[in-house]
């Protein structure tokens, strides 16, 4: 659960996740709002807090956490946002799917409610079009939704081999490159909510800056894609 200035939603999300699964890790990505201090004081026993000395972005925090998780003997990690958008109630379903298909990446496909910002819903259609093109339809149905369960070894290998995918381009870049690496995907319809500001809802997505980041990411992926077409055309191994 990467967290950067997540506000009061962080503590609430930790409690919801802990009710579903024993091992809950929070990677505090250089937060300055004190939300991590409050959350740690109220966190259920066993919640683990990892702290980055400075803000390195979602992908950077994920990479640091992957290294520790692998070293501690874990084989898979479920990534979810700390801002209350992702449904903790789906954690067990993802875990059970992963037990049945241990080589697969279990990906959420967002089911939007009436609280979803229209620009978010429409804007992701462009990115999803290009991600589908880049993977020939073999990857994640939604390239931006961050509620996913990853097998650690291939995810870590990819993240350590590239310098991109450290911030808001992370979800897209890793999903596409996992498909290129032959990892199979199981896409699961998953509800998403957008807490209002009065409820502690926060967002750090900057439409101009981060859309430019995503454009740059897709440009690089499209240029590299031809080299991966032969592997994409091979029959996928069993999940």
- pLDDT tens-digit profile of 204-226? 666 667 789 999 999 999 999 99
State how many domains the chain has: 1
Tell me if 239 is assigned to some domain: no
Range of the domain at 80: 2-233
Give the neighbor-by-neighbor strand order of the sheet with 76-79.
76-79, 148-151, 105-112, 185-192
- φ/ψ of residue 127, rounded to 5: -60, -40
Helix residue ranges, H only, the chain? 9-18, 35-42, 57-71, 91-100, 118-135, 152-161, 170-180, 207-224, 229-233
As a whole number, the mean pLDDT across the chain is 92
CATH code assigned at 132:
3.90.550.10
Tell me if 42 is assigned to some domain: yes
Res. 41: pLDDT tops 80: yes
Tell me if 196 is assigned to some domain: yes
pTM for the complete prediction?
Answer: 0.91
pLDDT band of 37, cuts 50, 70, 90: very high
Tell me if 96 is assigned to some domain: yes
Three-class secondary structure of residue 143 per DSSP? coil
């Amino acid at each position: 659960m990467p967290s950067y200035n997540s506000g009061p939603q962080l503590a609430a999300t930790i409690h919801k996740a802990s009710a579903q699964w024993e091992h809950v890790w929070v990677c505090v990505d250089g937060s300055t709002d004190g939300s991590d201090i409050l959350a740690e004081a109220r966190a259920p026993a066993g919640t683990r807090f990892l702290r980055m000395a400075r803000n390195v972005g979602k992908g950077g925090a994920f990479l640091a956490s992957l290294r520790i998780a692998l070293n501690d003997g874990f084989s898979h990690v479920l990534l979810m946002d700390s801002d209350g958008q992702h449904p903790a109630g789906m954690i067990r379903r993802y875990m059970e799917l992963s037990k049945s298909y241990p080589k697969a990446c279990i990906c959420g496909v967002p089911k939007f409610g009436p609280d979803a910002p229209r620009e978010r819903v429409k804007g992701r259609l462009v990115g999803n079009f290009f991600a589908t093109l880049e993977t020939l339809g073999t990857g994640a149905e939604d390239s931006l939704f961050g509620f996913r369960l990853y097998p650690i070894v291939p995810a870590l290998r990819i993240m350590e081999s590239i310098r991109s995918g450290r911030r808001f381009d992370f979800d897209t870049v890793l999903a596409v490159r996992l498909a290129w690496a032959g990892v199979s995907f199981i896409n699961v319809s998953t509800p998403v909510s957008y807490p209002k500001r009065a409820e502690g809802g926060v967002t750090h997505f900057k439409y101009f800056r981060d859309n430019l980041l995503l454009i740059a990411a897709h440009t690089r992926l499209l240029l590299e894609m031809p080299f991966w077409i032969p592997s994409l055309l091979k029959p996928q191994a069993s999940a």
